[in-house]
């Protein structure tokens, strides 16, 4: 069990983020659950996590906004101590659409939320974790998507583009900070049973497409969380700049 370590999970109140929170808590991490609007889910999860005997705080912040990110990280510093693990999980998608029907405003909003949040939070984490700044090292895990490889045609090209950008950021940052005690990796889930599909207008999307998955079923959030926590932990100590596709073989 990891003892006396601190993890921050953005968008941690539901879905894959919530599963990662619970698994990290079982490993003994003190947890910060970040959320942007669903306070009820975050506080309910906090109560569950605290029943595991670890400290857990909940912080509202829009992690695509720099001042919110600074407030979030300062709260973690103050209430939990030195950050060891950052999971960049916050992300959104919009209604399924062909690319020519996507507005510039929508495309910009997707990039702002999905890419800028990863950039801002990673930047704040590096300044705390890096041995260059007196830190003790740490691990950053970025939750990307299989869409970064497929392009998600006819559905979410904007979302796919944002996740492709996240993958490039993951690789570049990993190389920058590899000798400063920080490992940076990503997971690429696809067709996981979460509430996100409803945001795209098709709550049953996973069931519709599961026949195309080599494993012939959709994935569960905890199956992605296992990959996240492995990459976060010392068990993956020789892994950086890498990705785990949790896609059922797609």
What is the full DSSP assignment across the chain? ---SEEEEETTTTSHHHHHHHHHHHHTTEEEEEEESS-HHHHHHHHHHHHTTTS-EEEEE--TTSHHHHHHHHHHHHHHT-S--EEEE------S---GGGS-HHHHHHHHIIIIIHHHHHHHHHHHHH-GGGT---EEEEEE--THHHH--TTT-HHHHHHHHHHHHHHHHHHHHHGGGTEEEEEEEE-SB-STHHHHTT-TTHHHHHGGGSTTSS-B-HHHHHHHHHHHHSGGGTT--S-EEEESTT-
In terms of DSSP bridges, do strands 5-9 and 85-88 run parallel, antiparallel, or are they unpaired? Answer: parallel
The yes-or-no answer on residue 159 being catalytic is yes
Token code pair at residue 116: 């800028």
Identify the active-site residue in 29, 35, 156, 159.
Answer: 159
Residues belonging to the active site: 159
């Amino acid at each position: 069990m990891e003892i006396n370590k601190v993890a921050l999970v953005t968008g941690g109140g539901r879905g894959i983020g919530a599963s990662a929170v619970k698994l990290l808590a079982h490993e003994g991490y003190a947890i910060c659950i970040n959320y942007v609007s669903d306070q009820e889910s975050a506080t309910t999860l906090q109560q569950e996590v605290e029943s595991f005997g670890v400290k857990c705080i909940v912080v509202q912040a829009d992690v695509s906004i720099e001042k919110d990110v600074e407030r979030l990280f300062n709260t973690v510093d103050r209430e939990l101590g030195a950050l060891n693990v950052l999971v960049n999980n916050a992300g959104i998608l919009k209604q399924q659409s062909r690319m020519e029907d996507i507005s510039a405003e929508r495309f910009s909003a997707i990039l702002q939320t999905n890419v800028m949040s990863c950039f801002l939070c990673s930047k704040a984490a590096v300044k705390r974790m890096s041995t260059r700044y007196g830190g003790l090292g740490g691990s950053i895990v970025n939750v990307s998507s299989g869409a970064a490889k497929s392009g998600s045609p006819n559905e979410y090209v904007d979302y796919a583009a944002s996740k492709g950008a996240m993958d490039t950021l993951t690789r570049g940052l990993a190389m920058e900070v590899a000798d400063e005690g920080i490992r940076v990796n990503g997971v690429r889930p696809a067709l996981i049973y979460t509430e996100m599909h409803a945001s795209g207008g098709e709550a049953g999307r996973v069931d519709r497409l599961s026949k195309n998955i080599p494993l012939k079923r959709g994935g569960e959030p905890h199956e992605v969380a296992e990959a996240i926590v492995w990459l976060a932990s010392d068990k993956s100590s020789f892994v950086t700049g890498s990705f785990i596709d949790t896609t059922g073989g797609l």
